[in-house]
Amino acid sequence: MSDATGGMTKRTRGFLLFGLLMAGFGANITLLKEAQGHMSSDVFSCLRFAVGAGVFTPFLKTVIKDEKIFRGGIELGLWLGIGYFFQNLGVENTDAAKASFISSFTVIAVPIIGALAGRQIRSQVWAAIAIAVVGLAFMEDLVPFPGLVDAATSVVDISAISPPDTLIGDLFTLGSAFIFGVHIFRTDCIFNGVTLTHKQSMGLVCMEMLTVSAVFASVLGYDLIAAHGDIEAVAHVSSLSEIPWNEVLLVGVVTTAACIYLETVALTLLASQEATLMYSTEPVWGAIFAYLILGETLDKSGFAGAAMILLSTLVGSSGSADEDTSTCESASPR
C-alpha cells in the first residue's frame, strides 16, 4: 500500500481517486431526481452543463482552432444531449436506484452497436447480454421465480395503452443507456488513432457540454412556445431565485466538471482492467445515494436484478483491455 519512501503507491492513489470519482458520478442520477422536485429537469440539465462547460472554457480556444475536434465535439454533444433527455424522462418516472443500474447497460450497448456496424462481437458480450436481460426481467418482475417474484407482470400489463409509469421510466432509461453507447462508439470512430493532448481533451469536453446545454435550451424554447410563453409551466419555477443554485453548482462543478478532470488523472494511475472494475461500481454508489438522500430501497427481485446487471457489466468488459477502445471515452460528462 506504500512505496519505499513510506508514501502511498501510485496504484493505491488510483483506487482511492477512482472510489471518489465513482461516488461522484454515481450521485448524479439521485441529485437529478432530487432536483426534479424543485424545477424542470430540462432546466436543471441546461444549467448543469452550462456551468460544467464554464469550468473548461480556458481550453475552448484549443478546440476552435481544430476543425476535427470542433465538429466532433458538436456531434458527440448532440448524442449526449439526446441521451440525457431520455435519461431525464426515465428518472422522472422511475426510482433513482433502478435507473442507476439500468444505465450501466451502456457497457454492453457499445459492442452491440459495434456489431451492427460490422465489428466482431466477443463471446463474453453475448453472455453479458443474456445476464443483463435476465437481470432486467427480475427488476421489472417479468418472470416468476419462487422467493423473488411471486406474481409476474403480465404481457397484458406491459402492452396496455397505459403501462405502469415505472416501466415507461425504465424503458426511457434503457434507451438513454444505448444512446450513450452510440456516443462512445462515435467517439471511437471520430478519434480512433488520434492522440489528443490534455488541453484538446478538455476542450472537447467543453464543446460537448456546451452542445448538451444548447440541446436542452432548444427543448425549453420549444416547450415555451407550446405553453404560450408560460415560463412557470415549463420551468416549474416562477423566478430565478427559486432555482436550487446550490444543487446546480454541486452537480455542474463537482460531480461533472471536477470529476471529469480528475478522471483523466486517475486513468494514468491504474491499469485498464483495474479501471474497468472500478467503473462497474458506479451503479452501486447510485443505489447508496438513492437510499441516503431519497430513502429508496430495492425489493428482493430488484436486488437480484441489480446484482445480475452488475455482473453483466463485469462479464461484458472482461478481456477488453487488449482491444481497441474509445480514445475519448473517459472524456464524457456523466
User: Cα–Cα distance between 260 and 333 in angstroms, integer?
Assistant: 7
Q: Could you report the per-residue pLDDT of 214-270, keeping only the tens digit for each?
A: 999 999 999 999 999 999 999 998 888 889 899 999 999 999 999 998 888 888 888
Within 8 A by CB and 6+ apart from 100, the residues are 26, 29, 30, 282, 283, 285, 286, 287, 290
User: Cα–Cα distance between 136 and 301 in angstroms, integer?
Assistant: 10
pLDDT score for 279: 85
Residue 2 pairs in a beta bridge with 8
pLDDT at 208 over 90: yes
* Phi and psi, residue 9, nearest 5°: -70, 160
Share of the chain above pLDDT 70, in %: 86
User: Cα–Cα distance between 220 and 226 in angstroms, integer?
Assistant: 10
pLDDT score for 319: 55
Q: Could you report the per-residue pLDDT of 148-171, keeping only the tens digit for each?
A: 555 555 444 545 555 677 888 999
Contact between 116 and 66 under an 8 Å Cβ cutoff? The reply is no
pLDDT score for 75: 97
Region 135-139: what's the mean pLDDT? 84
User: Cα–Cα distance between 157 and 164 in angstroms, integer?
Assistant: 8
Alpha helices, H only, the chain:
10-35, 41-55, 60-64, 67-93, 96-103, 106-116, 123-139, 155-158, 165-191, 198-226, 231-235, 245-249, 259-266, 272-279, 282-289, 300-317
User: Cα–Cα distance between 11 and 302 in angstroms, integer?
Assistant: 34
Q: Could you report the per-residue pLDDT of 41-59, keeping only the tens digit for each?
A: 999 999 999 999 999 999 9
pLDDT at 81 over 90: yes
Contact between 332 and 184 under an 8 Å Cβ cutoff? The reply is yes
pLDDT score for 156: 46
Q: Could you report the per-residue pLDDT of 12-30, keeping only the tens digit for each?
A: 888 899 999 999 999 999 9
Residue where the block lists cell 435507473? 99
pLDDT at 128 over 90: no
Q: What is the mean pLDDT of the chain?
A: 85
